[in-house]
Structure 1
């Protein structure tokens, strides 16, 4: 999947300057921001009207980026990372090594991680490092199908919009790999049966 190089430049400049970007991901529409920029993070919460006690997930380009910020990859997490759904619509919750974790993860014992199957996002992640990413909807509401609809629903306007529509209306499936046995916390694009087969391989 290709993208206009000008969009990469504009998106990257927006993020570096502390802005929030609305764009289509490989699942639902998303809001992305640099997790190290507290102003940008505050704006994401405000746009969604999301309670501050609900942590936001992080997207990365590779497993190396996970370990670089102190993420602990358990056998079940490794099995998920090695599955056909990574990159793709599978999110894993992992434990954080607090002495390594950067300040933007301060106070968090775990973090939800996903590797997106999207060329633009992967280019941004390669250039900028991990990004905070969340669905582009008001908290508790369904995610709109198009960026135009998302702009209407959100509490305010993102700093840059990559016009488009969701590639799927199903969110990623979330598996908590921090606990043993691992637990599915949200069923999405990857079925319960597929997750069970992935986790079974972790025990082989």
Structure 2
């Protein structure tokens, strides 16, 4: 894999035009990009990631003209675009015939967004095509928030990656605009509370699922190789449960790692591997650190990782959605 800098986007855009794949930074996580209208390129994305073919891809665009080229725009879409684009918001819209079925899991809908990242926008503009880009990792693993994460997973699988910064650390929020009422299918960088100010919107539940219109709905995601246990409950009860579980694992000689917060890290034994993910007063910091800490703890030769939970409010929805997907059990 050749690592490109921000001044070498022309090399990356030419690769996209030729049907090759390029990893690139967005404001959320790193994406693995290919021409969204090129069936061969899309097939490569699924092959490289080991991604199930029925898991639709998010198509990245850089202009409203490009959006109109691939999707039918609704009134609610116009309202949300005006407020949140470019930014970490993906919209599910009815797709146009120019988009191959494989890009959208053979549905009549398309997941599309305009990233808020100079490198991503320049790459799309120079390539001259919408770019389909799931996270640039092996399917199911923690999403990549640095070029080193991309190299860990895809170093021998693609030819190019562009180095750059990621700001948010969790993926985009996905909103379905093809049903009677707007519906959040995946929580992310734009919160439910922010969306509610613009449109009358509801949160998806599993009972609503008829078709998998968005990534992150069906399969286990974001998971380290080491089993992850998610501790729930009020703060003091959660700390108590974690310490009891640590005692139980110690009795059988298993190595435990703890991912806690600044407020609680001191309440766990010093003879185990423990890391703070940030402060509960700043969930943006927590979200930015999440995938990096999961990857770092996964290298510590542990038998189990226990992580604290967060209130499902604001960005906490997005954090918890990922932890629930990544964990093998909850206590």
Q: CA deviation at 1:10?
A: 0.9
The aligned residue for residue 129 of structure 2 is: 129
1:121-151, Cα deviation, whole Å (9 max, x unpaired):
2223223121111111222222123222222
Residue 121 of structure 2 corresponds to residue 109 of structure 1: no
Q: 1:155 to 1:40 in 2, by over 3 A?
A: farther
Q: Is the 8 A contact 2:6 2:162 kept in 1?
A: no
* Separation in 2, partners of 1:37, 1:94: 20
The aligned residue for residue 64 of structure 2 is: 63
* Separation in 2, partners of 1:8, 1:88: 21
Q: Which runs of 5+ in 1 are unaligned?
A: none
Q: CA RMSD in A?
A: 2.2
**Higher relative contact order at CA 8 Å, sep ≥6: structure 1 or structure 2?**
1
Report the TM-score, using the length of structure 1 for normalisation.
0.86
* Separation in 2, partners of 1:162, 1:66: 24
* Separation in 2, partners of 1:5, 1:154: 20
Q: For 1:152-163, what aligned pairs fall within 5 Å after superposition?
A: 152-154=152-154, 156-163=156-163
The aligned residue for residue 198 of structure 1 is: 198
Q: CA deviation at 1:167?
A: 2.4
The aligned residue for residue 33 of structure 1 is: 34
Q: After TM superposition, which residue ranges in structure 1, 4 or more long, deviate above 6 angstroms?
A: none
* Separation in 2, partners of 1:4, 1:144: 17
Q: 1:155 to 1:183 in 2, by over 3 A?
A: farther
SS in 2 for 1:169: coil
Q: Which runs of 5+ in 2 are unaligned?
A: 202-331
The aligned residue for residue 24 of structure 1 is: 25
SS in 1 for 2:152: helix
Q: CA deviation at 1:48?
A: 1.5
* Separation in 2, partners of 1:140, 1:155: 17
Q: Is the 8 A contact 2:174 2:187 kept in 1?
A: yes
* Separation in 1, partners of 2:193, 2:118: 28
Q: Which has the larger radius of gyration?
A: 2
1:95-137, Cα deviation, whole Å (9 max, x unpaired):
124xxx2152474300001001122222232231211111112
* Separation in 2, partners of 1:30, 1:134: 5
